[in-house]
Amino acid sequence: MHGFANPARFLRIARWLTPLCLLAGVAVTAAALLWGLLKAPPDRLMGDTVRILFIHVPAAWLGMAGWTTLAGASLVELVWRHPLAGIAARAAAVPGAVFTAICLVTGSIWGRPTWGTWWVWDGRLTSMLVLLFLYFGYIALVDATRRDGGGSSRVAAIFGLVGAINVPIINRSVVWWNSLHQPPSITMGKSAIDPAFLWPLLAATIGFSLIFGGVVLARMRAILADIQAEARLRRKAMNDGVTNQAATNQAETSERAGADA
Amino acid sequence: MREALDQWTFVVAAYIIGVAGTAAMIGWSWIGMKAAERRRDRSRGK
């Protein structure tokens, strides 16, 4: 595990992997969305609104996957003190929040013509909204600890771990409580979705996941670069301080020696 | 009275929000990364 903890090794891999993930993600997502928009047939019950699911479902999956990544990285940071794990957790927060927000907004747009309402306070929608607030809380906490002199990120890591309790609640909410939201359509090895919708949905999920990976890598590189720049400037300021102090001491010593003579 | 809803209006709105949100996130992260790496390189040069 610690073999991957070397920032230099990470940067060597991330330098080519970041644009590759982003370019492949954008290409696959564009192809999948065009497929879903132009080629997939309208659904028997939902009509054309089924096309919204090619954005809504991957966004929901990545909203939950984002917090799972954040919690996993927080655990690794707390237990193994892996230096890149805390950075990975911080980097996953913004894309996770963005995809959760896209999931909520597109779900609401889908709900209006399908359910006849923009919003219901049921288990699935409410727990997803709680996830968005958890992301906001985490981002604010990380920002506050960083501004207070780069203090310990342990508090944020503990928050990330505690917030993970919401992920299984979101997943099981449609099973535990009565809801307008349909039960899971894809379970282990089984799918209730017609292949005409399943394939573009899987392609969109792969494309958006690649984008998510690319964005996390880009944000990790940005955080690492900031840390390295700050460390260099601090070292330089200390060296300058030491040099100035030494010059002052030397001047004082010479002055004293002159007075004694 | 039953409301007549044009489903394509909802589809287009969802796609615009989803695609614009994702594109903005990619652009923000990429520009932020490049700016941070430039700052690091400048600090190395000083």
Residues 6+ apart with CB under 8 A from A21: A210, A211, A213, A214, A217
Q: Which of residues 1-30 of B touch A (CB under 8 A)?
A: 5, 7-8, 10-11, 13-15, 17-19, 21-22, 25-26, 29-30
- Mean pLDDT in chain A? 87
- Shortest Cα–Cα distance, A29 to chain B (Å): 10
Q: Which of residues 32-51 of A touch B (CB under 8 A)?
A: 33, 37, 47-49, 51
Residue B23 in this model has a pLDDT that exceeds 90: yes
* Nearest C-alpha in A relative to B41: A229
ipTM of the complex: 0.90
Across residues A167-173, what is the average pLDDT? 88
User: Could you give the percent of chain A with pLDDT greater than 90?
Assistant: 57
Task: Count how many Cα atoms sit within 13 Å of the Cα of residue B34 in the half-sphere of its side chain.
Answer: 6
Taking CB atoms and an 8 Å limit, are A229 and B14 in contact across chains? no
The answer to whether the beta carbons of residues A42 and B4 sit under 8 Å apart is no
Residues 6+ apart with CB under 8 A from A211: A21, A22, A25, A26, A29, B22, B26
Residues pairing with A190 in the sheet:
A187
Per-residue pLDDT tens over the stretch A181-218: 777 766 666 667 788 888 999 999 999 999 999 999 99
pLDDT at A18 (0 to 100): 96
pLDDT at B1 (0 to 100): 47
Is A205 in CB contact (< 8 Å) with chain B? no
Q: Distance between CA atoms of A222 and A147, rounded to whole angstroms?
A: 16
More confident residue, B4 or A209: A209
Per-residue pLDDT tens over the stretch A87-135: 999 999 999 999 999 999 999 999 999 888 899 898 899 999 999 999 9
Q: Which of residues 47-106 of A touch B (CB under 8 A)?
A: 47-49, 51-52, 55-56, 59, 94-95, 98, 101-102, 105-106
More confident residue, B38 or A244: B38
Model confidence at A61, pLDDT cuts 50, 70, 90, reads very high
pLDDT at A24 (0 to 100): 97
The SS3 of residue A43 is strand
The answer to whether the beta carbons of residues A82 and A5 sit under 8 Å apart is yes
Q: Which of residues 119-178 of A touch B (CB under 8 A)?
A: none
Across residues A146-153, what is the average pLDDT? 66
Q: Which residue of B34, B40, B41, B42 to mutate against A (max A Cβ within 10 Å)? A: B40
pLDDT at A189 (0 to 100): 67
Per-residue pLDDT tens over the stretch A210-259: 999 999 999 999 999 998 888 888 888 888 777 777 777 776 766 666 55
pLDDT at A205 (0 to 100): 96
